[in-house]
Chain A
Amino acid sequence: MSGDIRELYQQMIMDHNKNPRNFHALKESNRNAEGYNPLCGDHFKVFLQMDGDVIKDIAFEGAGCAISKASASMMTTALKGKTRQEARALFEEVHKMLSRRIGEVFDASKVGKLATLAGVCEFPARVKCASLAWHTMCEALEPTGKQVTTE
Chain B
Amino acid sequence: MEPSTGAKAFDVEAIRKHFPILKERVYGKPLTYLDNAATTQKPQIVIDTLSQFYSRENANIHRGIFCLSEQATKRYKSSRHRVQEFLNAGSDKEIIFVRGTTEAINLVVHCYGRAFLKAGDEVLITGMEHHSNIVPWQMLAEQTGIRLKVAPINDRGELETGEFKKLLTGNVKFVSIVHVSNALGTINPVKELVRLAHEAGAVTLVDGAQAVAHTAVDVRDIGCDFYAFSGHKLLGPTGIGVLYGKKELLEKMPPYQGGGDMIRTVTFEKTTYNDLPYKFEAGTPHIAGVIGLGAAIDYIRSIGLDKVEAYEQELLKYGTEQILQVPGLRLIGTALKKSAILSFVIGEAHAHDIGTILDRQGIAIRAGHHCAMPVMQRFNVPATTRASLAFYNTKEENDRLVAALHEVTEVFR
Query: CB within 8 Å of B: which residues of A?
Result: 1-2, 4-5, 8-9, 14, 17-18, 39-41, 63-67, 123, 125-126, 129
What separation, in Å, do the CA atoms of A64 and B361 have in the docked complex?
23
* Cβ contact within 8 Å between B411 and A14: yes
Contact-residue size bin, chain B (C-beta under 8 Å from the other chain) = 20 to 34
What separation, in Å, do the CA atoms of A132 and B315 have in the docked complex?
39
Q: Which B residues from 317 to 368 make CB contacts under 8 A with A?
A: 348-353, 356-357, 360-361, 367-368
Write out the residue numbers on chain A whose beta carbons fall within 8 Å of the beta carbon of B350: 64-66
What separation, in Å, do the CA atoms of A126 and B410 have in the docked complex?
20
* Cβ contact within 8 Å between B357 and A126: no
Q: How far is the CB of B407 from chain A (nearest CB, A)?
A: 5
* Cβ contact within 8 Å between A126 and B352: yes
Known contacts A1-B410, A65-B353, A67-B352, then 14 further A-B pairs from the complex at CB < 8 Å, ordered by chain A residue: A1-B411, A2-B361, A5-B356, A5-B411, A9-B353, A9-B411, A14-B411, A40-B352, A40-B368, A41-B369, A65-B350, A66-B349, A66-B350, A126-B356
Write out the residue numbers on chain B whose beta carbons fall within 8 Å of the beta carbon of A8: 356
Query: Looking across the interface, which residue of chain B has its beta carbon closest to that of A3?
Result: B360
Write out the residue numbers on chain B whose beta carbons fall within 8 Å of the beta carbon of A39: 368
* Cβ contact within 8 Å between B412 and A14: yes
Q: How far is the CB of A131 from chain B (nearest CB, A)?
A: 14
Write out the residue numbers on chain B whose beta carbons fall within 8 Å of the beta carbon of A129: 352
Write out the residue numbers on chain A whose beta carbons fall within 8 Å of the beta carbon of B382: 41, 63
Which of the residues A5, A17, A125 comes within 8 Å of B357, measured between beta carbons? A5
Contact of B66 with A by CB under 8 A: no
What separation, in Å, do the CA atoms of A9 and B352 have in the docked complex?
13
What separation, in Å, do the CA atoms of A14 and B351 have in the docked complex?
15
Query: Looking across the interface, which residue of chain A has its beta carbon closest to that of B350?
Result: A65
Q: Which B residues from 362 to 400 make CB contacts under 8 A with A?
A: 367-369, 382-383
Contact of B27 with A by CB under 8 A: yes
Write out the residue numbers on chain A whose beta carbons fall within 8 Å of the beta carbon of B369: 41
Write out the residue numbers on chain B whose beta carbons fall within 8 Å of the beta carbon of A14: 411-412
* Cβ contact within 8 Å between A123 and B356: yes
Q: How far is the CB of B66 from chain A (nearest CB, A)?
A: 47
Query: Looking across the interface, which residue of chain B has its beta carbon closest to that of A8?
Result: B356
* Interface CB pairs A-B, < 8 A, 26: A1-B410, A1-B411, A2-B27, A2-B360, A5-B357, A5-B411, A8-B356, A9-B357, A14-B411, A14-B412, A17-B348, A18-B348, A39-B368, A40-B352, A40-B367, A40-B368, A41-B368, A41-B382, A41-B383, A64-B350, A65-B352, A66-B349, A66-B353, A66-B412, A67-B353, A129-B352
Which has the most chain A C-beta neighbours within 10 Å: B350, B368, B369? B350
What separation, in Å, do the CA atoms of A123 and B352 have in the docked complex?
12
Q: How far is the CB of B27 from chain A (nearest CB, A)?
A: 7
What separation, in Å, do the CA atoms of A81 and B368 have in the docked complex?
36
Nearest first, the 3 A-B pairs at minimum CB distance are A65-B350, A65-B352, A41-B382
* Cβ contact within 8 Å between A4 and B360: yes
Query: Looking across the interface, which residue of chain B has its beta carbon closest to that of A69?
Result: B350
What separation, in Å, do the CA atoms of A63 and B353 have in the docked complex?
13
What separation, in Å, do the CA atoms of A128 and B353 have in the docked complex?
13
What separation, in Å, do the CA atoms of A67 and B412 have in the docked complex?
12
Query: Looking across the interface, which residue of chain A has its beta carbon closest to that of B411?
Result: A9
Write out the residue numbers on chain B whose beta carbons fall within 8 Å of the beta carbon of A5: 356-357, 360, 407, 411
What separation, in Å, do the CA atoms of A64 and B353 have in the docked complex?
10
Write out the residue numbers on chain B whose beta carbons fall within 8 Å of the beta carbon of A65: 350-353
Q: How far is the CB of B346 from chain A (nearest CB, A)?
A: 12
